[in-house]
A and B are shown apart, each in its own frame.
Chain A
Amino acid sequence: MGLGLLNGSFGVNPIQSVEKFAGFTALNFLTLTLACTPLANLSGYKFLVSRRKALGNYAFLYASIHVFVFVFIDYGIDLGFLLADSLNKKFIWLGFAAYIMLAPLAFTSFRYWQVKLGKNWKKIHRLVYVIGITVPFHFLLASKGSLTTFSGNILLPVIYGGIITLLLILRWKPVKNFIQNFKPITGL
């Protein structure tokens, strides 16, 4: 990505391009992270579960680049400009909230914390469901369109919101049980 900045492949407005690219990549990793468990349940490929940690940490890495570029490069740490432009914008609050929730999950993703936190570890890491709902709304409000009139550039955020909603529904006990009972018939 740094190389891309140097050779001009991030285009005419490189700061905004990097912000968008890093944010979108973070969302993709977040979606993949949330897909692991339901796909493992459906397919029986249990190894998918062990990939969650790495994918989740990649989501955090790209989210960090996204936030870093916004605060330190886009606004050049000019707190006056940054606050004046941010405080009244819902999408920035949503993005900020998602990042604040994601950070502790990344920091406690290691075995040491998993053992140390015991039962609480799982509870804390359920925050990822909230993040999964928050981020598509952040994306939607940052996109040039409107859900009210269902027009403009809203297709991608709506699709990602839909995918994540589906992934969350697949974790819901009644749905999970229904699929489990269905499996012997279809031979899945």
Chain B
Amino acid sequence: MKTSFKNHIPSSEITPKNVYTARRAFMRSAGILAGTLALASCGVSEPLVTAEEKVLGDPGYSALTDERGDQVNQLSQITGYNNFYEFSTDKEEVANLAKIFPTTPWEITVNGLVNKPIKLSVDELIKKYPVEDHVYRLRCVEGWSMVIPWQGFSLANLLRDVEPTSAAKFVRFESVMDLGKMPGLANPLYPWPYQEGLRMDEALHPLTLLATGLYGGELPAQNGGGIRLVVPWKYGFKSIKSIVRIELISEQPATLWNLIAPNEYGFYANVNPSVDHPRWSQSTERKIGELSRKPTLMFNGYESDVASLYQGMDLKKYY
């Protein structure tokens, strides 16, 4: 297997964690000092760590590029333009609504057709499976795209440890349903919970990531914190956010968008410029921040890594 997807980020380009955490601590104390001076007369106290501060990330990441040379999007674009209907159908309203959504501590259950079902917190997962930087292109089915520096680990590492039985053929993922903090869940026109699925070989592919961080910072709630899936050769809706449960099963699972409009959203949902969608262009895309459109690449540019998974399949039928 080729390893072109591995994004070896020169360590010189990234601020070491101890440096930027120290910098943040300094900024925080400076901020508190300034805040104390400004607010001393009003008697207002501020929380020490705000939600925004948690997701600050490391500005050094903004200089990174993917393996094709495309620069990563700005953090404000990545955290300010989110399809996360559990919060809102308005992509630019999600970040605001997600501010009160707690992403730590976060627990995830892995069970189903496995020998060793587990329940772990994201903190425990990060200790067990060291996270690495991965700069991936994200292509939304709506015809826009971004380049995003994730931190995470291969789903395959986790799946091997739970020991799937031979009957396990598919992996089903389920998002959190926090009725109190996710106003979009009250919309009866969506068959909640958000659920997604992968074929076993897709789930075990080294490109398939469980992401726990973004831009070197925590994974913000609007981007799917505590933990999310990232499958870069598929349309964005496959990369399910805020996962609470991973289940190994024998049959192809139902998926939310496929339940809504089966003619539009297939189970596979591989990025494919030659398979059209009744609404959006799949042959071209606009990278967020760019003025003009550009051609969409087969498997979102990961063709040499993943095409072998679909050998002999009619991709027009299995869209």
Residues of A within 8 A of B (CB): 11-13, 15-16, 73-76, 78, 81, 84-85, 88-91, 141-142, 144-146, 148-155
The proximity string for B residues 116-147 relative to A, scoring 1 for CB distances below 8 Å and 0 otherwise, is: 00000000000000000000000000101000
Q: Which residues of A contact B264 (CB under 8 A)?
A: 146
- B283 CB within 8 Å of chain A: yes
9 tightest A-B CB contacts, nearest first:
A85-B281, A12-B81, A146-B261, A151-B260, A152-B260, A151-B189, A11-B92, A76-B292, A81-B284
Question: Other CB < 8 Å A-B pairs besides A11-B81, A76-B292, A88-B276, 4 of them?
Answer: A76-B293, A141-B279, A144-B142, A151-B190
Closest Cβ–Cβ distance, residue A93 to chain B (whole Å): 11
Q: Is the CB of B189 within 8 A of A90?
A: no
Pairwise interchain contact B284-A85, C-beta atoms closer than 8 A: yes
Q: Which chain B residue lies CB-closest to A152? A: B260
Given A91-B279, A142-B279, A149-B260, A12–B77 Cβ distance below 8 Å? yes
Q: Mark B79-103 against chain A: 1 for CB-CB distance below 8 A, else 0.
A: 0110000000101100000000000
Bound complex: CA A128 to CA B207 (Å)? 53
- Chain A residue nearest to B289 in the complex (CB): A12
Whether, in the assembled complex, B278 has its beta carbon less than 8 Å from a beta carbon of chain A, the answer is yes
> Which residues of B approach A to under 8 Å, CB–CB?
76-77, 80-81, 89, 91-92, 142, 144, 189-191, 259-261, 264, 276, 278-279, 281, 283-284, 286, 288, 291-293
| B291 and A153 within 8 A (CB) | no
How close is B294's CB to chain A, nearest CB, in angstroms?
A: 9
- In whole Å, how far is B271's beta carbon from the nearest beta carbon of chain A? 15
Contact among B278, B283, B288, B293 with A90 in the assembled complex (CB-CB below 8 Å): B278
Are A151 and B291 closer than 8 Å at their CB atoms?
no
Between A and B, 11 residue pairs with Cβ closer than 8 Å are A11-B80, A12-B92, A13-B81, A13-B91, A13-B144, A15-B286, A73-B291, A74-B293, A85-B281, A85-B283, A145-B189
Q: Identify the closest chain B residue to A142 (Cβ).
A: B279
User: Nearest B residue to A92 by beta-carbon distance?
Assistant: B279
Q: Which residue of B lies closest to A154 (CB)?
A: B189
Q: Is B189 within 8 A of A78, CB to CB?
A: no
Which residues of B have CB within 8 Å of A11? 80-81, 92
Report whether A144 and B77 are in contact in the complex, using a CB–CB cutoff of 8 Å: no
**Chain A residues near B293 (CB-CB < 8 A):** 74-76, 78, 81
- Alpha-carbon distance between A13 and B280 when the two chains are bound, in angstroms: 15
Contacts of B291 in A (CB 8 A): 15, 73, 76
Chain A residues near B77 (CB, 8 Å)?
Answer: 12
User: CA A78 – CA B259 in complex, angstroms?
Assistant: 35
CA separation between A91 and B91, bound complex, in Å? 22
Decide: A89 near B278, CB < 8 A? Known: A12-B81, A154-B189. Answer: yes
Closest B residue to A84 using CB positions: B283
CB nearest to B92 among chain A residues: A11
Residues of B within 8 Å of A144, CB to CB, are 89, 142, 279
Task: Decide: B259 and A149 in contact? CB cutoff 8 A.
Answer: yes
Determine if A152 and B190 form an interchain contact, defined as CB atoms under 8 angstroms apart. yes
Most buried by B among A12, A85, A146: A12
Which of chain A's residues has its CB closest to B76's CB? A12
Instruction: For residue A12, give the distance in angstroms from its CB to the closest CB of chain B.
Output: 4
Taking the nearest CB of chain A, how far is it from the CB of B260, in angstroms? 5
Q: Within 8 Å CB of B76, what residues of A?
A: 12
* Nearest neighbor of A143 in chain B, beta-carbon distance: B279
Most A Cβ at <10 Å: residue of B77, B80, B292: B292
**How far does the Cβ of A64 sit from chain B's closest Cβ, in whole Å?**
21
Q: Closest Cβ of chain A: how far from B244's Cβ, in Å?
A: 23
Q: How far is the CB of A170 from chain B (nearest CB, A)?
A: 28
Bound form: Cα–Cα A135–B281 in Å: 20
Q: Which A residues are in CB contact (< 8 Å) with B283?
A: 81, 84-85
Set of chain B residues within 8 Å of A84, measured between Cβ atoms = 281, 283-284
Q: Which residues of B contact A90 (CB under 8 A)?
A: 278
Contact A152 B288 (CB under 8 A): no
Q: Which of B91, B191, B260, B278 has the most CB of A within 10 A?
A: B260
Q: Which residue of A lies closest to B81 (CB)?
A: A12
A15 to B292, CA, bound (A): 10
Chain B residues with CB under 8 Å of A15's CB are: 286, 291
User: In the bound complex, what is the Cα–Cα distance between A91 and B77 (angstroms)?
Assistant: 29
Q: Is the CB of A150 within 8 A of B189?
A: yes
Q: Which residues of A contact B279 (CB under 8 A)?
A: 89, 91, 141-142, 144
Query: In the complex, A11→B89 CA distance in Å?
Result: 15
Cα(A161)–Cα(B292), bound, Å:
33
| Residue among A11, A13, A84, A150 with most chain B CB within 10 A | A13
